[in-house]
Structure 1
Amino acid sequence: MADIAIFYLVAAESGDGGRTVPTNGGDVRGTVQYIKDLPDKPIHTFLGIPYAAPPVGNLRFRAPQPVVPWEGARDATKPGPYCPQGQMVFQLFPYKFHHYDFDEDCLTINIETPTVEKDAELPVMLWIHGGALFLGFGYVAPFAALVAQQDVVVVTFNYRLGALGFLSTGDENAPGNFGFLDQVAAMAWVQENIRNFGGDPDRVTIFGESAGGVSVGNQVVSPLGKGLFRRAISQSGTYNTMEIEKKPLEIATIFAEEVGCEAKDTATLVDCLRQKTADELVHGAERMMKLDSGEWGKYFYPSLDGNFFPEHPRDLYNNGQVNDVDYLLGVNNNEYGFVMPSSMSSNFGPDGMTEDAFILELEQLVERNYPGTKKDSIVAAARKVYRDQDNPDDPMAIQHQFTLFSGDQMFVAPTVDTASKHAESGSKVYLYELHYVPSAKAASRPEWATGCDHGDDLRSMSGWPFLDIRLADGGVLPFSSEDRNFSRHIMTYWANFARSGNPSDPTGGPTDSPVVPEWPQYTHDDPAYMNLGLTSSSDVGLHPERTALWNDVIPKLVASSNKEEL
């Protein structure tokens, strides 16, 4: 599983001064909101706009269809239902949600913009949420601070998740990747409608974190994304962070049996699944994933469908067929530092980790990711790289090496590999490692859980330190002056990139934006990257020995093992 870390927040909004704007489905009437440091700047907000037909009945397990038009001005002051998923999403995080409604009629889009003048032609940033492709939703936290401070249009949306979004029978009955096709439909909607909301359809940047970053990476390689966006930002996830499912029909068959459908043939299987309620499918998927057991269950991953993926994404890169878009991508400096191992590894905790436990984790990963290979040489190569030379026997040092090993395998090495491949394709690339930990996050973790963890970047990038983020218990999420300073810093980089393709170039941006250090472009000959923190600086070569292990050494050992088997 690539991640389960997603963060959802709520801020107060104003209901006065809403505007009515036309779309290709009909008129929508929105509302306005304000942020604390710009009290006189209304952010026009439109929520819950359908961008495709409800994927229900016979449209379940099919590509999204055109939106069903409506008459009159549709109320767009509340977010639409969330796409079906488990209650886990509400249990994981202590925030106050807008609502708690799930429904298959969930393909809706949300817009926050500083103007609705057609000739404004502001850069557009289209957010793709994370959640391992089985959790999450588009609009729960306003992007109002990013919109107001940087004069950009921010768009968010829901897409289908889990079985409803990614089940595949490997043929025409359920080709799969429906969630990715929903993302394509949302991008197409933006192209057709965003001028009416002050946006420039020729300057669309898609951005996302974790599974959202994976989604962005897959849109970069898919031919269906061609012409729908100009730039892309992947935070903590790229196309190769999440594997392509090699046996989708096997997974679909296991799932069908779990929910009481016989798999005589794929047409019968899919027809039976269409008769089940969304709740039955969600609960069946949760049982199949074994979320509460501590075991590694079966998940719905992207599949080769011949449409969104005409070939394996790796081959699309190798054949030079990816979209020619500017790409900014990167990771946090301790992706697997605390949040994920605390919920996924029984060997992790305040007492550290033994050598035997670390070796066991290594062996299990090799067996899971490289089945049938001789694991001893791979484990030995990994243990050589991930060893604290000063404290090789210290349980806390061993545990820290375990977090680096896991984070590199899931996030860092795939990101560096993608940066290299995309740069070789001829497009501009900017790489980063983010170090800043929000103050409330740092205060809530044990002293030994150091570094910027998976998901820590979301608060800063979204501008949450400038909003009143409501908690479920009635409180407000605290932020420090340093949190606000870093948030301004990172929002400036992201918005500069969306405007011009260069995160350091302030041209066309607000005159009061912070002056940010120069961010060098990443190339094959000069693999420069940016260390992002309160004081950002550039460097060359992001953890070269560690990333080389995953991107070069281990693939060669696997290939050698496979040859021996032949």
Structure 2
Amino acid sequence: MEAGRKLGLLILAVSQALLCWTGATAQQIDSPVVNTVNGQVRGTIKLATDLPKKPVYTYYAIPYAAPPVGELRLRPPEPAFPWGGVRDGTKLGPFCPQDMALFESSDIPIKLEHEDLSEDCLTINVYSPTLAEDAVLPVLLYVHGGGLMAGMGSHHGFEGLAAHQDVVVVTFNYRLGMLGFLSTGDAHAPGNYGLLDQVQAMVWVRDNIRSFGGDPNKVTLFGESAGGVSISYHYLSPMSKGLFHRGICQSGIWQTMPFQTDPLPVAKSLADELECTTKTTEAMMACLRTKTFEEIIAKSNVLLERLQVEPFVPTMDGKYMKAHPMDLFERGDISKADYIVGVNNHEFGWMLGLAVAGENYGSGMSQEDYSAFVQMVAYGKHQGPNLEKITEAILAEYRDADKPDDPMAIQNQFTQMFGDSMFVAPAVLAAEKHSAAGARVFLYENQYRPSVFPHRPEWAGSDHFDDMLMVSGLPFMEPYDLPEPVSYTEADKTVSREMMAYWANFARTGDPADSTGGPADSPSLPAWPEYTPHNPVYMKLDLVPTTDVGLKSQKIKLWNEIIPSLDIAAKDEL
């Protein structure tokens, strides 16, 4: 997915291949075999469209944990079983159980290679530009998004990122929804299985990645939406300590999604729907382990409709998460690993706005409907006597004095209000807290909108997930077989090169603009200053990246200072 390689790099790539397969046949080179701690696996070779002479050795569906079925369902992951012979790693494995209908309305220019679902889904995929064990390339470990109830590690490839930046990219599936996060609040179902799967994937990387040319001591987590949410939890958990060395949270930290403080009632509600006893948590869990995942997904959707919020999310389990995230956050009891955190400039511009507001979204919004959404958001922050004050504060901050009755202006208030409360304010708070705790922090706002959304309104900016098209190097992949042809512009390719370089530089050096040790033809990038509470600088990622200070500072003050103070004041009065 990127730029032309210099002769020296081509010679290096060829020599590394020869070192690995001296005397191999052409068929063996096309299907390279690698040793893992559990057995051998055969991969295949992928290419970025603009780098036809630089192979990316690709391995799919390598088990990193035992299949979580039967008595292992709704329990922490166990290590993967060994296998004999050579495992076929040339095809994608099944995805973890989820409602695939969630993908039908997406306008993202990606086509899934299959829609196979299975609980035997805890597998990992590796993309590497070399198999030389002494290469010790930086590793970028991708945690996928999807609201913790959908998604997969292989919805698109990462050949472009691996080829252009000489990094090893690893992706994986983890358990979702009820199967990943149901909790009874006791030992019979402590919860957080999806996050524990992610920890197990990090263990696999530590134990195996050198065989794929990667450095187990230079692992950077990166992920978008629920992926970013997950990574923010790993900064808070003692179980993740030492398994990763840097992290990039794109459009999501733990505050983006609700944290479950009382999970048992939700678990019992699902058990009722599935006609399981709730007399004891032990008996309830035994019954839930007998249901098919299709039944579980159907009844989870019933619960989702009723609650209007994802019911199965992380919780305190006493092991992975020992205290409430906000308590850990406030006292700085968090990882000091280098950290990039950021957002797109119109997170609720189109895809999420459409999902929340319904089919009439895009043609304007009434003040009545908007006020109802504001009250809903305010209620999520505070259920006490200051609810009306908080609602009024939000309405006042986002009111457009020049166009108070314009439906499109009101709709824009809706997009900005939701985007700031769910993504921007949490990102800035994370930057502030992690920096204050002693981490090196880099904050960004991505302002680039890819050219491949012909049906998206012009007023929509850089939407949720737009950044992943650029970071993965999608403009340099073979075009997908979609109903409408997709063609990326030169501007798209330039931004993709820059974002891949920023992410890979950070993985290599801890400084997004420092290309030391990177490819000779990597883009030269503007300096990205470190964020501190006293100098809240951030990078505006665009065709020409620039810096600024104080990302939406007035709006952030509302969400991170004014509303919490009103909440605390109300609790003090009780």
TM-score (norm 1): 0.94
1:326-376 CA distance string (max 9 Å, x none): 000100001111211212114963432222222221112222442234321
Q: Mapping of 1:29-68 within 5 angstroms?
A: 29-68=42-81
Task: Quote the Cα distance in structure 2 between the aligned partners of 1:234 and 1:350.
Answer: 28
The answer on 1:288 being equivalent to 2:303 is yes
The 3-state SS of whatever aligns with 1:221 is coil
The answer on 1:558 being equivalent to 2:567 is yes
| 1:267/1:399 CA distance change after superposition, 3 Å | same
Q: Mapping of 1:179-328 within 5 angstroms?
A: 179-290=194-305, 296-297=308-309, 299-328=311-340
| 1:358/1:15 CA distance change after superposition, 3 Å | farther
- Alignment match, 2:35: 22
Task: Quote the Cα distance in structure 1 between the aligned partners of 2:28 and 2:553.
Answer: 52
1:493-546 CA distance string (max 9 Å, x none): 111001000001010011111111110000111011000000110011111110
The 3-state SS of whatever aligns with 1:27 is strand
Unaligned stretches of 5+ residues in structure 2: 1-26
The one-letter code of the counterpart of 1:453 is D
Task: Quote the Cα distance in structure 2 between the aligned partners of 1:127 and 1:354.
Answer: 40
The one-letter code of the counterpart of 1:509 is G
- Alignment match, 1:362: 374
Candidates 340, 344, 347, aligned match of 1:335: 347
The one-letter code of the counterpart of 1:525 is H
- Alignment match, 2:129: 114
- Alignment match, 2:462: 452
Task: Quote the Cα distance in structure 1 between the aligned partners of 2:102 and 2:487.
Answer: 22
Q: Mapping of 1:482-561 within 5 angstroms?
A: 482-561=491-570
Aligned-residue identity in percent:
47
The answer on 1:178 being equivalent to 2:193 is yes
Task: Quote the Cα distance in structure 2 between the aligned partners of 1:269 and 1:471.
Answer: 45
- Alignment match, 1:353: 365
Task: Quote the Cα distance in structure 1 between the aligned partners of 2:103 and 2:551.
Answer: 36
Contact 1:32/1:44 (<8 A) preserved:
yes
Task: Quote the Cα distance in structure 2 between the aligned partners of 1:77 and 1:373.
Answer: 59
The answer on 1:383 being equivalent to 2:403 is no
Task: Quote the Cα distance in structure 2 between the aligned partners of 1:238 and 1:15.
Answer: 43
The 3-state SS of whatever aligns with 1:41 is coil
| 1:347/1:115 CA distance change after superposition, 3 Å | closer
Contact 1:20/1:29 (<8 A) preserved:
yes
Unaligned stretches of 5+ residues in structure 1: 1-13
| 1:402/1:40 CA distance change after superposition, 3 Å | same
Task: Quote the Cα distance in structure 1 between the aligned partners of 2:198 and 2:185.
Answer: 21
Candidates 451, 454, 464, aligned match of 2:474: 464
Task: Quote the Cα distance in structure 1 between the aligned partners of 2:28 and 2:225.
Answer: 33
| 1:334/1:80 CA distance change after superposition, 3 Å | same
1:246 shift after superposition: 1.9
Contact 2:182/2:263 (<8 A) preserved:
yes
| 1:316/1:371 CA distance change after superposition, 3 Å | same
1:202-244 CA distance string (max 9 Å, x none): 1100000000010111111111111001100000001221121
Task: Quote the Cα distance in structure 2 between the aligned partners of 1:496 and 1:524.
Answer: 24
1:136-155 CA distance string (max 9 Å, x none): 11013110000000000000
Contact 1:468/1:476 (<8 A) preserved:
no
The 3-state SS of whatever aligns with 2:520 is coil
1:313 shift after superposition: 1.6
1:300-333 CA distance string (max 9 Å, x none): 1111111110111222223332122100010000
The one-letter code of the counterpart of 2:461 is G
1:298 shift after superposition: 5.3
- Alignment match, 1:439: 451
TM-score (norm 2): 0.93
- Alignment match, 2:356: 344
Instruction: Please tell me the root mean square deviation across aligned C-alpha atoms, in Å.
Output: 1.6
| 1:367/1:320 CA distance change after superposition, 3 Å | closer
